[in-house]
């Protein structure tokens, strides 16, 4: 079964340094597959991603000839996706393939990896329809392979499958396939695949604004500890979006802020999106985000409309709010936050009211209506009912005197004499302790380390170290006294 191809005899006919790197990656995958170590394959994928820019047709076709038996079904199918540019390169390729040992058993991992490579190459070249065909073929091939080591590669394939369909605008077609794949992944206990597919399905539903169905899927899908940080970030972002639309702003804020924090620094656009939604959710909750949020590196221009929006809400001015909303309406509709901005009107009024109630101890309702600039046929009656609702919701502390038609604010007491500081401290302490626990849980140890037998030398060393440590601690204790 094992027939490792001879790396020395395979010449690198392309001038770039990508070809030998690819061969390294291929050997890494092989060793990983034989030793059943998933981490090597994950590392191989990371190295491939670093090579993305250097991929060219010649490089890819050379790799295909190297990794797959030429003439096999997979090889012919994949080669058909690559354009036949330079004839003389192909000749050299066929020469080398003859030179190599013709008996070469293709590992399924190598085959799937080749699919992945071709797919990445096609997508980077923006040939989306061909990428679509390639990915569908790979998914069909994947259904027959059931090996843990392929899972990592498979989840990448699912991602690019969905991406190629999204670029051609056909996401709805693959929804059934994704659901079936998710089912298969769950049956095979392929947790990384489950995670990836769940995120892809959520993305699919949210693309078409089907928040109801997305929530139903998410609540019923099995949940477990996240395997991949990126997938977890994506999950948090989609969860935050669903919760925002369903008016559960506190949960949404938590998810979105966590997603923005956990995302890798390089994922700038993702973080910008998270920040945009987080800003809106915070505005809807009634709190004003600080200026530093908008001044983060690289995000200033993108967040500019939201910065002006926050300003309008902070001042509590309805006219300014309306003008800002109109000015940036294309940006908002592109981000699909248009409906949320409409909901903000209520918050603008509330903030305006709060400002008024803090500044005046007593103010007539006509003046309130004038200051809020409510454009309605009957502003005083409107103002009165708005104020009474705000009082009932606890946003402002006041009473209305209907006969005389004015609003009287109550004195705000001393906060430190209440339980408020205790609550605030408690939440911060809980957060720090939670973070500590999560960090401990996230520690990873190399597998099989507990199985190594301790050699006598090592044991002596370890005992010596422990003795020294004990002495040290004893000395410290003595010092304290």
Partner 1 sequence: MDPKLTEVSQYFERFKAACVREDIDTSANLLSQLKVLLTSFRSLPPLFEVTPNAVQELTIARDIYEHAVLLSVKMGDQDAFERDFFQLKPYYTDARKRLPRSPQEHMILGLNLLRLLVQNRIAEFHTELELLPAESLEDPCIKHAVELEQSFMEGAYNRVLTAKQTVPNQSYDYFMDLLAKTVRDEIAGCSEKAYDFLSINDARQMLLFSSDNELLKYINEEHPEWEIKDGSVIFQKAKETAPCKEIPSLQLINQTLSYARELERIV
Q: Which residues bind partner 1 (CB under 8 A)?
A: 209-212, 245-248, 333, 338-339, 342-343, 345-346, 349, 374, 376, 378, 381-382, 385-392, 398-403, 419, 422, 426, 429-430, 433, 436-437
Q: Shortest distance, CB of residue 251 to partner 1, whole angstroms? A: 12
Distance, CA of 84 to chain centre = 37
CB nearer to partner 1: give 282 or 350. 350
CB nearer to partner 1: give 193 or 352. 352
Contacts of 207 by beta carbon, 8 Å cutoff, 6+ apart: 166, 171
Q: Shortest distance, CB of residue 181 to partner 1, whole angstroms? A: 22
Contacts of 371 by beta carbon, 8 Å cutoff, 6+ apart: 352, 356
CB nearer to partner 1: give 183 or 333. 333
Q: Shortest distance, CB of residue 436 to partner 1, whole angstroms? A: 7
Rounded CA separation 99/5 (Å): 11
Instruction: Classify the phi-psi angles of 394: left when phi > 0, otherwise alpha if psi is within -120 to 50, otherwise beta.
Output: left
Q: Shortest distance, CB of residue 285 to partner 1, whole angstroms? A: 14
C-alpha distances in angstroms, 197 versus 46, 259, 270, 449? 20, 18, 19, 32
User: How far is the first Cα of the chain from the last one, in angstroms, to the nearest whole number?
Assistant: 70
* H-only helix segments in 105-174: 108-124, 128-142, 148-168
Contacts of 199 by beta carbon, 8 Å cutoff, 6+ apart: 231, 234, 235, 238
Closest CA relative to residue 175, chosen from 216, 205, 134: 205
Asked whether the beta carbons of 110 and 79 are under 8 A apart, the reply is no
Q: Shortest distance, CB of residue 310 to partner 1, whole angstroms? A: 20
Rounded CA separation 69/3 (Å): 12
3-state percent breakdown (helix, strand, coil) of the chain, nearest 5: 75, 0, 25
Q: Shortest distance, CB of residue 234 to partner 1, whole angstroms? A: 20
Residue 316 in tokens: 């509590």
Q: What are phi and psi of 448, to 5 degrees?
A: 65, 5
CB nearer to partner 1: give 198 or 344. 344
Q: Which residue has the tokens 């066929």?
A: 94
Q: Shortest distance, CB of residue 257 to partner 1, whole angstroms? A: 21
* H-only helix segments in 338-455: 338-359, 365-372, 379-392, 420-441
Dihedral angle at the C-alpha atoms of 417, 419, 422, 428, nearest 10 degrees?
-120
CB nearer to partner 1: give 68 or 349. 349
Q: Shortest distance, CB of residue 271 to partner 1, whole angstroms? A: 24
Q: Which residue has the tokens 């597919």?
A: 197
CB nearer to partner 1: give 222 or 413. 413
CB nearer to partner 1: give 362 or 436. 436
Q: Shortest distance, CB of residue 397 to partner 1, whole angstroms? A: 10
CB nearer to partner 1: give 6 or 375. 375
CB nearer to partner 1: give 146 or 333. 333
CB nearer to partner 1: give 111 or 317. 317
Q: Shortest distance, CB of residue 336 to partner 1, whole angstroms? A: 8
């Amino acid at each position: 079964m094992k027939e490792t191809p001879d790396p020395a005899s395979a010449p690198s006919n392309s001038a770039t340094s990508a070809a030998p790197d690819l061969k390294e990656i291929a050997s890494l995958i092989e060793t990983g597959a034989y030793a059943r170590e998933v981490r090597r394959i994950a590392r191989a994928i990371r190295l491939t991603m670093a090579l993305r820019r250097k991929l060219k047709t010649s490089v890819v076709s050379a790799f295909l000839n190297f990794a797959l038996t030429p003439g096999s079904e997979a090889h012919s199918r994949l080669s058909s996706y690559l354009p036949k540019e330079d004839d003389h390169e192909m000749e050299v390729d066929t020469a080398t393939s003859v030179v190599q040992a013709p008996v070469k058993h293709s590992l399924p991992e190598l085959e799937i990896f080749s699919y992945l490579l071709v797919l990445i190459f096609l997508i980077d070249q923006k040939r989306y329809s061909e990428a679509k065909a390639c990915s569908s073929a790979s998914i069909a091939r994947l259904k027959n392979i059931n090996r843990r080591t392929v899972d990592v590669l498979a989840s990448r394939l699912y991602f690019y499958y969905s991406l190629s369909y999204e670029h051609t605008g056909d996401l709805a077609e693959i929804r059934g396939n994704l659901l079936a794949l998710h089912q298969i992944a769950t049956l095979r206990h392929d947790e990384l695949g489950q995670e990836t597919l769940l995120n892809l399905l959520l993305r699919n539903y949210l693309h078409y604004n089907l928040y109801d169905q997305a929530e139903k899927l998410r609540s019923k899908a099995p949940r477990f500890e996240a395997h991949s940080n990126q997938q977890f970030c994506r999950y948090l972002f989609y969860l935050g979006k669903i919760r925002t639309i369903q008016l559960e702003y506190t949960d949404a804020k938590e998810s979105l802020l966590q997603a923005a924090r956990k995302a890798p620094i390089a994922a700038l656009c993702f973080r910008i999106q998270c920040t945009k939604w987080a800003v809106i959710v915070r505005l809807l909750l009634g709190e004003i985000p600080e200026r530093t949020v908008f001044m983060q590196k690289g995000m200033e221009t993108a967040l500019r409309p939201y910065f002006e929006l926050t300003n309008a809400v902070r001042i509590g001015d309805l006219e300014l709010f309306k003008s800002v909303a109109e000015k940036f309406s294309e940006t908002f509709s592109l981000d699909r936050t248009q409906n949320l901005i409409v909901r903000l009107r209520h918050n603008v009024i509330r903030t305006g009211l709060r400002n008024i109630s803090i500044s005046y101890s007593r103010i007539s309702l006509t003046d309130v209506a004038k200051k809020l600039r409510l454009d309605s046929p009957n502003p005083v009656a409107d103002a009165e009912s708005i104020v009474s609702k705000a009082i009932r919701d606890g946003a402002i502390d006041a009473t209305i005197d209907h006969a005389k038609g004015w609003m009287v604010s109550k004195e705000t007491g001393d906060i430190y004499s209440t339980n408020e500081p205790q609550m605030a401290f408690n939440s911060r302490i809980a957060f720090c302790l939670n973070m500590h626990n999560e960090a401990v849980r996230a520690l990873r140890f190399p597998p099989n380390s507990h199985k190594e037998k301790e050699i006598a030398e090592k044991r002596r060393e370890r005992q010596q170290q422990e003795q020294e440590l004990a002495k040290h601690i004893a000395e410290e204790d003595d010092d304290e006294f």
